[in-house]
């Protein structure tokens, strides 16, 4: 009896051990299966991400004209996204090829009052291809759509967000605007030229007035030196030249008065008057004819803006050169 009980105990232990081995093998197989499934899921997810990233991006803004539909242009719309159609003029009416799964509506009335002419398109169902006909005063235009659905939501580049219509009215407005701009540019150039001309005239007038003031001063000085004592006299052939009075400091230069005596029986020609100290201005127009057997008095202005003080005696003009009948005659001047 004891041997039989011992054998039964051994058999029970062996059965328990066998059961544990079978359960362990099953658990191991299940774990391997689960790991393989996870790897397959990750690989599938990576493949989907790679496929999505390789999709060609759709332009966000598309321009449409009367020839676009004939050329096969199709606008990509997306479910749960709105696409704006910007019209160059107010639409008279518009019609969807299919109203199933897609809505279209115009801008609010207050937007129209501000010159807004947009049409808003909102797809609700993917996989639909349809079109939209818009009537304008300038003529109709047709736009073709295809509707997609993007897993995980829409992003820029998945669909077209704005459609800009450039019909004949748009082109007419563009041509008018360009013509107006060109005309404005031409008018601006004319105004610019006119301004430059007026500036030039103003400068010339100011210069002329300044010159006239200088000549007036010279004439007054000439009238005032009739009986003034002569000095620095130089004689040559039949002509005698003397300084009358002293060199006078005025704003912008020095005034020197001269007496030119023509002792010959013929006219003398005073052709030029020059000074190393600056430009010489006379009340006469040179060359000047000097009468025979007569004395002519004249005053000249030697310009020098740098001379501001009468005490600057070292800068007082000390010489004048007269060209008489082609012969130079140098006259000393002094204060």
Q: Is the separation of the CB atoms in 88 and 169 below 8 Å?
A: yes
Residue 26 pLDDT class (50, 70, 90 cuts): low
Under the banding of pLDDT at 50, 70 and 90, the label for residue 255 is confident
Same fold, 61-171 and 222-332: yes
CA distance 203 to 315: 30
Tell me which fold the domain 61-171 belongs to: Immunoglobulin-like (2.60.40)
Whether residue 326 has a cis bond before it, omega within 30° of 0: no
Judge whether residue 91 has pLDDT over 50: yes
Question: Residue 64 in contact with residue 136, Cβ under 8 Å?
Answer: no
Whether 54 has a pLDDT exceeding 70, the answer reads no
Spatial CA neighbour of 135 closest among 100, 176, 165, 180 = 165
Give burial (CB, 10 Å; 0-12/13-18/19+) of 48: exposed
CB 242 within 8 A of CB 316: no
Pair 283, 219: CB distance under 8 Å: yes
- More confidently predicted of 6 and 65: 65
- The arithmetic mean of pLDDT across residues 73-93, rounded, is 90
**The two three-digit tokens of residue 309, written as one number:** 């003080």
C-alpha distance across the termini of the chain, in Å = 167
Mean pLDDT score of the chain: 78
pLDDT score for 248:
82
Please report the pLDDT score of residue 245 as a whole number.
83
In order of 149, 179, 185, 186, the CA distances from 191 in angstroms are: 59, 18, 10, 9
Model confidence pLDDT, tens digit, residues 289-308: 999 999 998 888 888 755 44
Question: What is the per-residue pLDDT for 18?
Answer: 59
Closest by Cα among 278, 258, 279 to 270: 258
Q: Where are the domains of the chain?
A: 61-171, 222-332
pLDDT confidence of residue 184:
85
Residue with the two structure tokens 């009367």: 66
Of the ranges 207-211, 266-270, 277-281, which one carries the lowest mean pLDDT score?
A: 207-211
> Which band of pLDDT confidence, cut at 50, 70 and 90, is reported for residue 137?
confident
Over residues 242-252, the pLDDT tens digits come to 998 888 888 77
pTM of the model: 0.40
Per the model's pLDDT, the better-predicted residue between 62 and 49 turns out to be 62
CATH of domain 222-332: 2.60.40
Surface-to-core class of residue 27, CB atoms within 10 Å of its CB (0-12 exposed, 13-18 middle, 19+ buried) = exposed
% residues pLDDT > 70 (the chain):
69
d(C-alpha 96, C-alpha 161), whole Å: 18
Q: Distance (Å, rounded) from C-alpha 259 to C-alpha 235?
A: 12
Say if residue 141 is exposed, middle or buried (CB neighbours under 10 Å; 0-12, 13-18, 19+): buried
For residues 149-172, average pLDDT? 84
> Residue range 241-269: average pLDDT?
88
Written as one string, the DSSP assignment of 286-317 is SSEEEPTTEEEEEEEEEE-TT---TT-GGGS-
């Amino acid at each position: 009896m004891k041997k039989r009980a011992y054998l039964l105990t051994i058999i029970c232990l062996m059965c328990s051990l066998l059961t544990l081995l079978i359960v362990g093998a099953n658990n191991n197989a299940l774990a391997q299966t689960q790991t393989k499934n996870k790897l397959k899921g990750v690989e599938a997810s990576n493949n989907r991400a790679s496929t999505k990233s390789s999709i060609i991006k759709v332009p966000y803004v598309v321009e449409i004209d009367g020839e676009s539909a004939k050329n096969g242009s199709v606008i990509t719309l997306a479910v749960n996204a709105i696409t704006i159609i910007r019209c160059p003029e107010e639409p008279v009416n518009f019609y969807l090829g299919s109203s199933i799964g897609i809505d279209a509506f115009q801008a609010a009335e207050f937007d129209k009052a501000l010159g807004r002419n947009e049409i808003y398109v909102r797809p609700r169902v993917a996989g639909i291809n349809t079109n939209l006909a818009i009537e304008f005063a300038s003529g109709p235009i047709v736009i073709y759509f295809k509707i997609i659905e993007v897993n995980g939501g829409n992003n820029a580049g998945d669909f077209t967000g704005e459609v800009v219509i450039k019909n004949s009215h748009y082109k007419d407005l563009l041509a008018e605007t360009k013509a107006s701009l060109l005309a404005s540019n031409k008018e601006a150039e004319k105004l610019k030229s006119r301004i430059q001309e007026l500036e030039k005239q103003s400068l010339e007038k100011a210069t002329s007035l300044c010159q006239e003031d200088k000549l007036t001063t010279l004439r007054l000085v000439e009238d005032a030196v009739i009986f003034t004592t002569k000095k620095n006299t130089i004689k040559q052939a039949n002509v005698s030249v003397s300084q009358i009075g002293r060199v006078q400091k005025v704003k912008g230069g020095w005034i020197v008065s001269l007496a030119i005596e023509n002792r010959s029986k013929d006219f003398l020609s005073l052709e030029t008057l020059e000074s190393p100290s600056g430009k010489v201005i006379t009340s006469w127009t040179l060359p000047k004819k000097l009468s025979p057997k007569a004395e002519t008095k004249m005053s000249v202005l030697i310009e020098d803006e740098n001379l501001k003080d009468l005490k600057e005696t070292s800068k007082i003009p000390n010489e004048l050169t007269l060209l008489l009948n082609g012969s130079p005659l140098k006259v000393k001047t002094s204060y």
